[in-house]
């Protein structure tokens, strides 16, 4: 059966007015060609007749009864089903059908649109009566995918679909005051990855799809999930992956909660949001602009087996979400052939999922579910996130108002990987980032760990920094620490300067030569500030001015780099609190900066580290670099039998240790290891390393025990 689509037309043609009622609001879709209706089989015609009958007062089929026993009212659930031979978790191909269940039509789980096509991100309208889906029209050229997405509208009878125009629909929102329904849409950029990216977010009224309004274009964005709050003032988003957070649509600004994927925003006005973690097993819940509220496991339902889950999305009811899984293979993309659809109910405090329903159990590939519950827009999480509107995430909470104290001519700011790191820039805010290269990674305080690698400023920031002219006024603040004094290397390099370590000695190297910055002590952090004005350097250590002793012969090498870089692949240390100004620094602001960081370091408590000898018993299957998709690093969990505790305290007979297996999208040589062989391990509790929450993690172990993390520098 070949499906025909209505086309929107204008001019002196005969038109038919189609009246769509969304939550008692009449939406006029004019310009819909009456056209020829596709032929229907007797079965399909009978099915549609049933849908059109008066809605039953209670569910009839068993699955509908199970769903309403959990949701408490009339519910509709929608998803895309893959009919191909392998898997298409991201719904890029044409071998899909549109499936769903309406708990009050008596038909149970069924195909709504049987024609094989591309049904990406199907969405249910706020009143539950209409469906919008997107056909991506994916084209492949080598490893690159490009798209020509077109949106379509259809009702639950599976009747004639109608085109809504170009674009990829990400959410449908109804204005609570005007009752007008808006569709939010993005463009799709070419990509080599499975994840989708866009460079703008637009919207249009459902009754006027040809008129578009620009919503967001300050950053590139990833498309899963963009969801609006009930009042339309907030939207969950990625800026793009892996920076996950929320857009303030009134102020046209955004903040990042943490790194991760698949964000979602509560459909009420609590502004509570979640971030899906790198293990794909939990959602991390945040208050508005605020602190983390809880971590909720979402892989404990029937048949989930504690494995990875995917496609998590809040419903129109703040207490309910839906997702797919379990994914048992080496990669999400290749292990979704038997993914099922689940509905979960959160407890009132968003600390756990108190009930589950597995909607499908047919070993089919079901993806991208969306759930609607009658009256769901009246639900609310209450005040669980209240009082946090001025807070920010993680380590940034204290630093938000104290460092840096002066932001004039600030061109680069990187407090740590958990901070917002935004500065004023032309056209609004610019987020400053660092890219970890080789075996560089982040520490438990979200600082840069340079052992085995280095960090570079993100391309947008690098472009700004490259505009600096050598010799022009300059200000720099940074904080560093080393554990090893028998090394030499470059700590920080930029246009016309380098900061270097040579054994215990620390130097600033410029075109003139090198200046002493004093001696280092192992494990002791120090605050440095460098200020250049009129060709003269002022040097500060922990807020105090240093004499400018020129030591030409002590320099490791002349400064020549033009791109801001932390580390050089040989220097092993920690760096945080990096700020660059296109002006000299005042002594007062240097003193304030040093006081802030010295106080912060004093508050930090060390983690109990354990050194032991263990025999490898079980390994998580090695994954390929391709399994990362958009991630750059990954860890594998290994189970060891404890043979000897060398240092520290550990009382269990076995231990699960997470090792780095891939870094900077390259497999490490030390992984996989050999079963039965003994290894020396230096480990810390995994839950004491929040920086790993957003990293891709794989664990095939069935052992129910606390996990640990290998803190040693990974092998090249």
Task: Tell me: do 369 and 403 sit in the same domain.
Answer: no
Q: What is the pLDDT of residue 702?
A: 77
Backbone φ, ψ for residue 463 (5° rounding): -65, -40
Give the count of beta carbons closer than 10 Å to the beta carbon of residue 316.
Answer: 28
Q: What is the pLDDT of residue 556?
A: 59
Give the count of beta carbons closer than 10 Å to the beta carbon of residue 7.
Answer: 11
Whether the predicted pLDDT of 590 surpasses 50: yes
Residue 476 is assigned to a structural domain of this protein: yes
**How confident is the model over 11-16, as a mean pLDDT?**
32
Domain with 326, as residue range(s), is 16-378
Task: Tell me: do 548 and 572 sit in the same domain.
Answer: yes
User: What CATH number is associated with residue 181?
Assistant: 2.120.10.30
Whether the predicted pLDDT of 33 surpasses 80: no
Q: Kindly give, in sequence order, each residue whose CB lies less than 8 Å from that of residue 674, ignoring residues fewer than 6 positions away.
A: 616
Question: What's the CA gap between 1 and 344, in Å, rounded?
Answer: 37
Token code pair at residue 495: 């246009």
Residue 224 is assigned to a structural domain of this protein: yes
* pTM beyond 0.85: no
Whether the predicted pLDDT of 659 surpasses 90: yes
Question: What's the CA gap between 336 and 196, in Å, rounded?
Answer: 18
Q: Quick one: pLDDT band at residue 29, thresholds 50, 70, 90?
A: very low
Three-state DSSP state, 464: helix
Task: Tell me: do 653 and 596 sit in the same domain.
Answer: no
DSSP letters spanning 138-149: -EEETTEEE---
Residue 10 is assigned to a structural domain of this protein: no
Q: Considering the chain, what percentage of its residues have pLDDT values greater than 90?
A: 69
Q: Which of 184-193, 490-499, 634-643 has the highest mean pLDDT?
A: 634-643
Task: Tell me: do 366 and 441 sit in the same domain.
Answer: no
Task: Tell me: do 591 and 676 sit in the same domain.
Answer: no
Question: What's the CA gap between 168 and 283, in Å, rounded?
Answer: 25
**How confident is the model over 14-38, as a mean pLDDT?**
34
Q: What is the pLDDT of residues 510-547, one digit of tens each?
A: 888 889 999 999 999 999 999 999 989 999 999 999 98
Token code pair at residue 254: 């955004």
Residue 4 is assigned to a structural domain of this protein: no
Residue 386 is assigned to a structural domain of this protein: no
Contact between 300 and 349 (Cβ < 8 Å): no
Task: Tell me: do 441 and 367 sit in the same domain.
Answer: no
Q: Cis ω on the peptide bond leading into residue 242 (within 30° of 0)?
A: yes
Three-state DSSP state, 119: coil
Task: Tell me: do 114 and 79 sit in the same domain.
Answer: yes
Question: What's the CA gap between 153 and 160, in Å, rounded?
Answer: 9
Contact between 274 and 286 (Cβ < 8 Å): yes
Mean pLDDT is lowest, of 266-280, 458-472, 596-610, 702-716, for 458-472
Residue 384 is assigned to a structural domain of this protein: no
Q: What's the whole-number average pLDDT of the chain?
A: 87
Q: What is the pLDDT of residues 388-416, one digit of tens each?
A: 443 433 434 333 447 999 999 999 999 99
Q: Quick one: pLDDT band at residue 41, thresholds 50, 70, 90?
A: very low
> Who wins on pLDDT, 582 or 559?
582
Q: Quick one: pLDDT band at residue 332, thresholds 50, 70, 90?
A: confident
HEC states along 172-205?
EEECCCCCCEEEEEECCCCECCCCCEECCEEEEE
User: What CATH number is associated with residue 675?
Assistant: 2.40.50
Q: What is the pLDDT of residue 18?
A: 32
Task: Tell me: do 594 and 701 sit in the same domain.
Answer: no
Residue 389 is assigned to a structural domain of this protein: no
Contact between 315 and 321 (Cβ < 8 Å): yes
Backbone φ, ψ for residue 554 (5° rounding): -85, -5
Task: Tell me: do 312 and 459 sit in the same domain.
Answer: no
Q: Quote the number of domains for the chain.
A: 3
Q: Quick one: pLDDT band at residue 21, thresholds 50, 70, 90?
A: very low
**How confident is the model over 140-155, as a mean pLDDT?**
94
Q: Which of 391, 435, 413 is nearest to 576 (CA)?
A: 413
Token code pair at residue 606: 């060390």
Contact between 690 and 447 (Cβ < 8 Å): no
Task: Tell me: do 596 and 643 sit in the same domain.
Answer: no
User: What CATH number is associated with residue 401?
Assistant: 2.60.120.200
Q: What is the pLDDT of residue 482?
A: 95
For residue 618, the cross-strand partners are 639
Q: What is the pLDDT of residue 55?
A: 63
Q: What is the pLDDT of residues 162-177, one digit of tens each?
A: 999 999 999 999 999 9
Domain stop point among 557, 584, 603: 603
Q: Considering the chain, what percentage of its residues have pLDDT values greater than 70?
A: 88
Give me the sign of the Cα torsion angle 669, 674, 679, 681: positive
Q: Quick one: pLDDT band at residue 54, thresholds 50, 70, 90?
A: low
> Who wins on pLDDT, 254 or 98?
98
Domain stop point among 543, 577, 603: 603
Task: Tell me: do 340 and 268 sit in the same domain.
Answer: yes
Task: Tell me: do 518 and 632 sit in the same domain.
Answer: no
Whether the predicted pLDDT of 558 surpasses 50: yes
CB-side neighbour CA atoms (13 Å) of 288: 20
Question: What's the CA gap between 507 and 501, in Å, rounded?
Answer: 6
Q: What is the pLDDT of residues 211-265, one digit of tens each?
A: 999 999 988 999 999 999 999 999 999 988 888 999 999 999 998 888 889 999 9
Whether the predicted pLDDT of 460 surpasses 90: no
Residue 5 is assigned to a structural domain of this protein: no
Domain stop point among 549, 577, 603: 603
HEC states along 206-275?
CCCCCCCEEEECCCCEECCCCCECCCCCEEEEECCCCEEEEEECCCCEEEEEEECEEEEECCCCCCCEEE
């Amino acid at each position: 059966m070949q499906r025909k689509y209505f086309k929107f037309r204008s001019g002196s043609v005969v038109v038919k007015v189609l009246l769509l009622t969304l939550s008692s609001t009449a939406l006029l879709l004019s310009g819909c060609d009456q056209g020829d209706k596709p032929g229907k089989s007797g079965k399909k015609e009978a099915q549609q007749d049933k849908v059109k009958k008066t809605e039953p007062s209670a569910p009839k089929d068993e699955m509908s009864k199970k769903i309403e026993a959990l949701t408490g009212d009339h519910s509709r659930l929608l998803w895309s089903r893959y009919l191909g031979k392998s898997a298409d978790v991201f719904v890029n191909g044409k071998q899909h059908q549109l499936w769903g269940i309406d708990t009050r039509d008596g038909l149970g789980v069924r195909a709504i649109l049987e024609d094989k096509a591309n049904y990406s991100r199907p969405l249910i309208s706020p009143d539950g009566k209409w469906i919008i889906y997107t056909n991506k029209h994916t084209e492949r050229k080598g490893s690159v995918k490009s798209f020509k997405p077109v949106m379509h509208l259809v009702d639950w009878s599976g009747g004639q679909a109608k085109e809504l125009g170009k674009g990829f629909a990400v959410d449908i929102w109804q204005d609570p005051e005007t009752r007008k329904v808006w569709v939010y849409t993005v463009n799709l950029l070419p990509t080599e990855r499975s994840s989708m990216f866009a460079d703008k977010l637009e919207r249009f009224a459902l009754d006027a799809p040809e008129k578009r309004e620009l919503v967001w274009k300050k950053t590139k964005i990833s498309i899963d999930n963009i969801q609006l709050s009930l009042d339309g003032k907030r939207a969950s988003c990625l800026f793009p992956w892996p920076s996950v957070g929320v857009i303030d649509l009134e102020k046209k600004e955004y903040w990042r909660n943490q790194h991760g994927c698949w964000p979602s925003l509560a459909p009420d006005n609590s502004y509570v949001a979640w971030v899906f973690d790198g293990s794909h097993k939990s959602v991390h819940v945040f208050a508005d602009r605020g602190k983390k509220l809880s971590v909720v496991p979402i892989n404990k339902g029937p048949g989930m087996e504690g494995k990875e889950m995917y496609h998590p999305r809040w419903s129109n009811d703040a207490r309910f979400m839906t997702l797919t899984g379990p994914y048992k293979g080496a990669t999400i993309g290749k292990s979704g052939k038997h993914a099922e659809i689940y509905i979960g109910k959160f407890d009132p405090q968003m600390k756990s999922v108190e009930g589950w329903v597995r909607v499908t159990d047919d070993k089919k590939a079901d993806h991208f579910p969306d759930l609607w519950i009658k009256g769901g827009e009246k639900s609310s999480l209450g005040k669980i996130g209240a009082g946090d509107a001025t807070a920010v995430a993680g380590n940034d909470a204290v630093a938000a108002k104290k460092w840096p104290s002066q932001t004039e001519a600030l061109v680069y700011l990187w407090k740590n990987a958990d901070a917002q790191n935004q500065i004023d820039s032309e056209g609004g805010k610019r987020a400053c980032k660092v890219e970890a290269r080789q075996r560089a990674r982040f520490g438990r305080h979200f600082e840069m760990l340079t052992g085995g690698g280095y960090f570079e400023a993100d391309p947008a920031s690098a472009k700004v920094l490259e505009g600096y002219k050598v010799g022009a006024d300059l200000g720099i603040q940074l904080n560093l620490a080393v554990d090893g004094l028998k090394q030499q290397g470059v700590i920080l390099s930029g246009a016309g300067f380098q900061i270097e370590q040579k054994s215990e000695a620390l130097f600033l190297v410029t075109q003139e030569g090198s200046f002493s910055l004093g001696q280092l002590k192992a494990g002791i952090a120090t605050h440095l500030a460098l200020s250049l004005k009129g060709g003269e350097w002022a040097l500060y250590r922990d807020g105090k001015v240093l004499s400018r002793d020129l030591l030409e012969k002590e320099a490791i090498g002349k400064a020549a780099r033009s791109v801001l870089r932390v580390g050089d692949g040989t220097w092993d240390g920690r760096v945080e609190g990096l700020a660059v100004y296109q002006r000299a620094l005042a002594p007062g602001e240097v003193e304030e900066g040093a006081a802030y960081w010295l106080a912060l370091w004093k508050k930090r408590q060390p983690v109990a580290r354990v050194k032991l000898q263990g025999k490898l018993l079980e390994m998580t299957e090695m994954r390929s670099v391709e399994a990362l998709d958009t991630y750059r690093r990954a860890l594998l969990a290994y189970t060891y039998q404890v043979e000897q505790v060398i240092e520290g305290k550990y009382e269990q007979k076995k231990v699960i240790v997470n090792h780095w297996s891939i870094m900077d999208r390259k497999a490490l040589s030390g992984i996989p290891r050999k079963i039965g062989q003994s290894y020396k391990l230096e480990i810390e509790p995994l839950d004491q390393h929040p920086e790993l929450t957003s990293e891709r993690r794989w664990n095939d172990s069935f052992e129910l025990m606390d996990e640990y993390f290998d803190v040693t520098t990974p092998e090249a």
